[in-house]
Structure 1
Amino acid sequence: MGEAVRSRAGGKGRRRLSTNQESSQLLDLGRAHHMLAAHYDVHELMLREAPLEQVLTELVRGIERQTDGMIGSLLLFDAETRTLRHGAAPSLPQAYVDALDGTVVGPEVGSCGSAAHHAREVIVVDVERDPRWEEWRELARGNDLGACWSAPILDASGAVLGTFALYYTAPRMPSKGELRLIRQASRLAAIAIERYRAHAELKRLATRDTLTGLPNRALLIDRLTQALARSRRTGSEAAVVFCDLDHFKLVNDSLGHEVGDWVLREVADRLAGAVRPGDTVARFGGDEFVVVADGITADGARRLAGRLHGALEHPLQHPDSGEHLISASLGIALAGADLDAQEAVRRADSALYEAKRDGVATRLYSAELHRRATEQLALHTALRGALARDELRLVYQPIVRAGSGAVVGFEALMRWEHPQLGCVSPGRFIPAAEETGLMIELGDWALATAAAQARCWSAEQTPVTVSVNLSARQLLDPELVARVRRILADSGLEPALLAVEVTETALLEHDVRAARSLGALAALGVHVALDDFGTGWSSFARLRRLPIETIKIDREFVAGLGTDPDARAIVTAMIGLARGLDLFVTAEGVETEDQLELLRELGATHLQGYHLGRPAPAADATALLAARGAGPPG
């Protein structure tokens, strides 16, 4: 009987246990179902790229639906300030949320501050008695909060992203199921936070310059578009300041790109520190920066330009390469309702071009600049078809021996006659050809045309040297020597009857590569002359290194002969230098008989100028040869 009773009692006990287990399993199944639903809802919101706060709020609500009487809270960790910021707490009173926002984490700072500090769960069963809640106890009591269980939200590397907490109104210990909920919520929150941070980083990288951290060109155009929209609403103007560093290429070429990158970062920091709050400083590309400032006047834009110049006036101090003096040229455009962002930037760039061309620090875009830019564009466009339309021609100016007056050569000079633009000065179209990349093509045409004409004169028993000017762009072209060789072969001209003239400026800017090209041309037998001598501060060492046979004294010095004692002294020194180096001397710009006689007296070997012959077509040059006779260049 007793056994039977015990057996029945045991059976009832087992049935009661089984019922409890069954109830717990049903609860767990229900929670699992709700958790799956919460996962789905959260992922759906992330796929729709809903704001992070909306995603986290839905996550907290999904957890709260699974726990009777529980209140969820999600805080985000700011690693820089080591504070917890509001993430989501849809069921907590706003006053409580505001009080928690900005909490500095620490080892004894409530449940969440402690969990974030230790990167582990903190279970506070009784807020009223737990020492970690001493600072927040009155706040919790006033909001009827008795327990708080918090878990850290960790990323894949274990770094703290935030905390997830469940509050209960009365002191109590969490069940195993509730702890699982907190942990699952923390993992799901980590996925959401990491996804959004990765997305934000991708967005930042897409709109930021990777070297300087400044806004890139895409973000610049976006912000400028917004600034112009505000200008249309308010009737004000926005300023676009285009900033280009002067001679920055020398830094990269001489010190390397690592130092160059360091300079760009330092310049970016200085420019960013020189503008008003709300202005945008962007890296446009290379060593170019653009500043956008809206709600500004022309005077305000000039003051802004002054601050930008001032930011760069003190040397940059590199730890290894020492001091670097950096300056910049600025172009300013004021933009209002009539412009779009691209046109505003283009105008600022045009003003910058004018500043650099005129050698000034800053230029403000104006109607006159617009007219000149329009003309320049028309010039560039027309020049592209000049060769095909047969609008270019060569004229030949004689070079004579100082003693006998015999013609020893001609300098071939390019001329352009356009049907609408008229006779375009070489001072206009040669720089335009350099800028547009057409100089190589035009230079090849000039070399081929001049070589063919020289071959004709040679065939008529009047061999003279023909000189052709080479630009800096041609000197840097690695195919220059090969093309000159081909031109000589095609024309049948002896190399000794072709000379190339290069300016001091071109040699100063590109010393090593220019010297290499000139050496290869000299090896072919082509003569080399240094044009505009005295204007570029050539050194004796450079003259000795280069394969130069002739120096051409610039017309500026010849013009002063007879009236300016300094000019006579300079020309005398130049001729003496040339004699010492065993070079020929051609004096350019001979305009008078007095200049001619004085140059003969000073020892110039060759002369060139209007007094001896103006540039003329090939037929007139041929007639001049017949009248005066030709002589060897020496």
Structure 2
Amino acid sequence: MFVILFVSFSYNNLVTTRDAVNSAYKGILKEQSNLEGLRNTLLTINQDINLFLLDPLNEDLIHKIDINTNNAINKLTALSESKHPFHKDLKAISERTSKNFYILKSKINILVKFRLDINKQYPGLDISANIMENQQNSIKSGFEILINEIESGDLQVKSPQIYPLLLKSYSVWISAISQTRIYMANRLASFSSDILDEQGNSLKDIYTLFTNNIKTLNRLYRHEDSFEANDILKSAITTSQSWYENFVTLREISESDKWRSDTLIIKTQVFPLVEQVVQNLNEIDKTLNDEKQNTDQELKKSDDQFNKLIFVIIALFMLFIAAILISMQWMVFTPIHKVTLALRSKAFDIDLPNIESSKTLEVGQLIDAFIEMDEEVTQRQNALEHQAMHDHLTGLPNRFLLNQRIEYQLLHSERQNTPFSMFLMDLDFFKDINDTLGHAAGDHLLIEVSQRIKNSIRKSDTLARLGGDEFAILLPETKKETASKLAESIIQKLSDTIDIDNQKVSIGISIGIVNYPDDGIDIETLLQHADMAMYTAKRERAGYVFYDSSQNTYSKARLSLNHDIIEALEHDQFDIYFQPKIDAVTQNLCGAEGLLRWKHKDYGFISPEKVIESAERAGVIHKLTLSMIEKAISACSQWHKSGHKISVAVNLSVRDLSNKDLTTKVKEFMDKYALEYHFLTLEITESIMMENLAISLEVLQKLNKLGVHISIDDFGTGFSSLAYLKKLPVNELKIDKSFIIEINQDANDKKIVSAIINLGHNLGLNVVAEGIETQKSMDMIKAMGCDQMQGYFISKPICKTSFQKYLENHEKNSNPNC
């Protein structure tokens, strides 16, 4: 009997060893095949990255890189899960390699993102287009208001030095803008660093001259009665300083290896990761060779293992008997005793003992049922508490919970004598998106925004939704410097577009910041002051603003002006002035641009920019725009009846493109006054149109289908529209007057204007030059082939009655084809 058992065991051992070795060899071959596939996949990814850099618009390459990366990760997963006899664990090295592939994938995605976005590929362009451009326009607008204030006669200056110095300062600022554009053009053309240094130093001299002029103007205006001069000059000093600091930053970027981010990413992130993955694959290859050697050795050891098998079987038999006795105590008696104790603990509402699951079916079911019951009761209690203290949409703390935490923080800060900060935040243009895309899209947007903000704050901070699109953050033990950095981080994270129902949506945020105890020592005061700071940020489009006591006075003035605008609109107190446009070839009068004018009963002339800003804040911008459009259509209809077949143009604001009734109302007005649609032109700036391209495109297409002409105003001052220009339903380009004013002195302006005219004509568009102020400028624009012209040299904006006389006294017949 013993011999039979011995022979049987020996035979089974030989068969088992043979099967194990065969299985091991098959597993090793499969692992080596996966490894070879990984090497080929990595080579393909590397080749596709190089092809993508040459052809970034080839979406197939991006998709292919993503697929190959996923395939590599799947092969590594197979390697980590590979099992066979004599297998050497590959999990650690496979997971490390997978992690490197994931990182490589993310770096490639970053490379793709930066390569496809010119602002990210060239960070300097982002600063120039999105920051400096707004600052330039702000200062230009301020000087135009001051110049217009004198030229229109609203201000009788006492000092004869002011007007020439205003014009000179305005010209210096235009030169600074032009010099910046030349600097960027030279950098894009990869000119030598000597030229860039020369241009940068030249711009510094221009900036110094400009600031000296502003200081002189500020001193001269102290003796004048100007309504806005002090604020405008103060803003010009601050904004120009920030503008020059931005240029210094731009210059540092442009003259370093950060100028092209995609090259930097390839060099410092992608290539090192590829090398790391190659090293990982070499480690896997070495491990597989070790596996093969181990398999060979195990085959030799099979005979020795036979003898040990007999002793193992005997030992296992003895252990089996002992295990039965121990398992009865562990699997049955002890779990039942713990369940009994747990039931007693639950009855008296004390902490439950730790209950482990049982291996036996019946006892395990008993334990699972008890645990499930306990968890269900606990979850219901927690859910009720959470619903009472949190917002149902975003899951964030609500106003009630925020107030509790502020009260606690006030007590803590008072005892510990520590500061804290609080943010009050409101989304910009959320109502337009909500009205346009629907409430479901608005809810989606709120959830995404709350998640991005939450990812920016610490665990000790409290982010709460107060209702609608208003949020708040409580920042314990935080000073102004830290609060400022956090506000910048939040604004940066929200600057990226959000995908909602296949629509790319841009959203902004205005943040008001208060600090305890400087800005208040109780909840009501802190919230009130944070609200004032937030509205100041929204008004100035500054992103974030710290509370200042002067905002109390401004808030009252702002509310008063909002009320006056609503009242003026109800009583039809807004006027429309018309500035003539002439045909560049025939010099015939062919159209006019309608411009908003309002003389306040106490403050006198209010700039159109301030009227529009207050109307947007008061929620009546749509009504104001439609009022101006109707006035313009009515006047144009009267011109036609008197025999003057000319067109009329009206500007649209940033909010008008979200007005669902715009197209319907325009059609209603045109039919009411019996005016043909092509005699109306609606002007919209590049920045407004590109702010939410999907919504803008939909509204503009509807207007275009009616026959209304669409004009891009201030063309040439933006960086975004050229790529989309051919897709937009545009009939006309208006060259920004900043390029026209000194065209006979600045060769660069001349080249830019010529390029825009050629671009417009190649696209079949009408081109208008605004800002004609001299005969020489008019002759030069005419020689370049521009279609139409307008400016102070032709005529200033004049009232409706004066414009009618201008029509009647015009020596030449109007061109009916304009």
Fold shared by both chains (TM-score > 0.5): yes
- The match for 1:525 is 707
Higher strand share: 1
Q: Are 1:631 and 2:787 matched, yes or no?
A: no
Q: Which residue of 1 aligns with 2:798?
A: 616
Structure 2 contact 341–353 (Cα < 8 Å) conserved: no
Q: Quick one: which amino acid aligns to residue 373 of structure 2?
A: A
For residue 558 of structure 1, what is the aligned residue in structure 2?
Answer: 740
Shift of 1:281: 2.4
- Residue identity over aligned pairs, in percent, reads 28
For 2:671, give the aligned amino acid. Answer: A
| Distance (Å, rounded) in 2 between the aligned partners of 1:350 and 1:120 | 61
Q: Are residue 485 (structure 1) and residue 485 (structure 2) matched?
A: no
Q: How far is 1:302 from its partner?
A: 4.1
Q: Please state whether the residue corresponding to 1:160 is helix, strand or coil.
A: helix
AA aligned to 2:565 is L
The runs of 4+ residues in structure 1 deviating greater than 6 Å are 73-77, 84-87, 229-236, 244-250, 256-259, 306-310, 313-316, 324-329
Cα distance, 1:340–1:556 mapped onto 2, change above 3 Å? farther
Query: Aligned to 1:462, what secondary structure does the other structure show?
Result: coil
One-letter amino acid of the counterpart of residue 374, structure 2: V
Q: Which amino acid aligns with 2:423?
A: V
| CA drift at 1:496 | 3.3
CA shift, 1:376, in A, is 2.8
Cα 1:334–1:371 change in 2 (3 A) is farther
Partner of residue 26, structure 1: none
Tell me how far apart the structure 1 counterparts of residues 550 and 345 of structure 2 sit (CA, whole Å).
Answer: 55
Q: Could you list the per-position Cα deviations for residues 569-612 of structure 1 after superposition, in whole angstroms to 9, with x for gaps in the alignment? A: 11000011122122221111122222222211212121111121
- 2:689 is the alignment partner of 1:439: no
Alpha-carbon offset, residue 85 of structure 1? 8.1
User: What residue is the counterpart of 1:22 in the other structure?
Assistant: none
| From 236, 240, 246, the counterpart of 2:422 | 240
Is contact 1:535–1:554 with CA below 8 Å preserved after alignment? yes
Residue 420 of structure 1: how far off its partner (Å): 2.5
Q: Which one has more relative contact order, counting CA pairs under 8 Å at least 6 apart?
A: 2
Q: Give 1:198 shift.
A: 3.6
Contact 2:453 2:490 in 1 (8 A): no
Q: 1:331 aligns with which of 485, 495, 512?
A: 512
Q: CA deviation at 1:315?
A: 10
Cα distance change of structure 1 residues 76 and 463 upon mapping to structure 2, 3 Å threshold: farther
Bigger-Rg structure (1/2) = 1
Partner of 2:569, secondary structure, is: coil
Kept in 1, the 8 Å contact 2:506–2:692? The answer is no
Distance change in 2, residues 1:374/1:533 (3 Å): same
Alignment match of 2:473 (pick from 281, 291, 296) = 291
Alignment of 1:554-633 (within 5 A): 554-629=736-811, 630-632=813-815, 633=817
Shift of the alpha carbon at 1:613? 0.9
Which AA in structure 1 matches 2:674? G
Q: Deviations over 1:128-157 (max 9, x none)?
A: xxxxxxxxxxxxxxxxxxxxxxxx9958xx
Counterpart pick for 1:396 among 578, 596, 600: 578
Report deviation, 1:615. 1.0
Count of aligned positions = 467
**Amino acid aligned to 1:453:** A
Partner SS state of residue 385, structure 1:
helix
- Matches of 2:496 and 2:756, distance apart in 1: 38
CA offsets per residue over residues 417-465 of structure 1, 9 Å max, x none? 2213332111112123233331211111111111111122112222321
The whole-number CA distance in structure 1 between the counterparts of 2:589 and 2:763 is 24
Alignment counterpart, residue 658 of structure 2, candidates 472, 476, 484: 476
8 Å CA contact 2:582–2:589 kept in 1: the answer is: yes
Residue 729 of structure 2 corresponds to which residue in structure 1? 547
CA gap of 1:547–1:591, structure 2 versus 1, over 3 A, is same
- Tell me if 1:105 matches 2:348: no
Change beyond 3 A, Cα 1:598–1:509: same
Question: 1:617, CA displacement in angstroms?
Answer: 0.7
Residue 677 of structure 2 is aligned with which of 460, 485, 495? Answer: 495
Structure 1 position 467, deviation (Å): 1.0
Distance 1:569 1:421 in 2: 42
Aligned in 2, Cα 1:429/1:218: closer, same or farther, shift over 3 Å? farther
The answer to whether the aligner puts 1:160 opposite 2:377 as a matched pair is: no
Matches of 1:387 and 1:259 in 2, distance apart?
A: 36
- Secondary structure at 1:590's aligned position in 2? coil
Instruction: Give the C-alpha shift of residue 624 in structure 1.
Output: 1.4
Q: Deviations over 1:31-74 (max 9, x none)?
A: xxxxxxxxxxxxxxxxxxxxxxxxxxxxxxxxxxxxxxxxxx99
What is the Cα deviation at residue 551 of structure 1? 1.0
Q: CA deviation at 1:307?
A: 7.9
Residues of 2 paired with 1:494 and 1:313: CA distance?
43
Query: What is residue 406 of structure 2 aligned with on the other side?
Result: 224
CA separation of 1:245/1:104 partners in 2, compared to 1, >3 Å: closer, same or farther? farther
Distance 1:474 1:281, change over 3 A: closer
Rounded Cα–Cα distance in structure 2 between residues aligned with 1:379 and 1:233 = 43
One-letter amino acid of the structure 1 residue matched with residue 581 of structure 2:
I
Q: Which runs of 5+ in 1 are unaligned?
A: 1-72, 78-83, 90-96, 109-116, 122-151, 162-192
Q: Which amino acid aligns with 2:533?
A: A
Q: Does 1:206 align with 2:388?
A: yes
Question: Relative to 1, partners in 2 of residues 1:564 and 1:215: Cα closer, same or farther, differing over 3 Å?
Answer: same
CA separation of 1:88/1:520 partners in 2, compared to 1, >3 Å: closer, same or farther? closer
Q: Matches of 2:507 and 2:713 in 1, distance apart?
A: 31
Q: How does 1:350-499 map to 2 (within 5 A)?
A: 350-352=532-534, 354-355=536-537, 362-499=544-681
* Worse-superposed segment, 200-209 or 610-619: 200-209
- Normalized per residue, the structure richer in helix is 2
Q: CA–CA distance in 2 between the matches of 1:459 and 1:479?
A: 28
Answer whether contact 1:75 1:87 (CA < 8 A) is retained.
Answer: no
Displacement of 1:303 in angstroms is 6.3
Residue type of the alignment partner of 1:270: N
Counterpart of 2:455? 270
User: CA 1:612/1:235 → structure 2, altered by over 3 Å: closer, same or farther?
Assistant: farther
Q: Please, which runs of 5 or more residues in structure 2 have no aligned partner?
A: 1-338
CA contact (8 A) 2:690 2:721 kept: no
Give how far 1:291 is off.
Answer: 1.5
Q: Does the 8 A contact of 1:264 with 1:287 survive in 2?
A: no
- Is this contact kept in 1: 2:649–2:680, CA < 8 A? yes
Q: How far off its partner does 1:477 sit? A: 2.4
1:326 Cα shift?
11
- Cα deviation per residue 1:515-571 (whole Å; 9 max; x = unaligned)? 343333333333322211112335456333333222110112112312322211110
Deviation of 1:247 (Å): 10
Which whole-Å CA distance do the structure 2 matches of 1:328 and 1:384 have between them? 26
Does the 8 A contact of 2:539 with 2:613 survive in 1? no
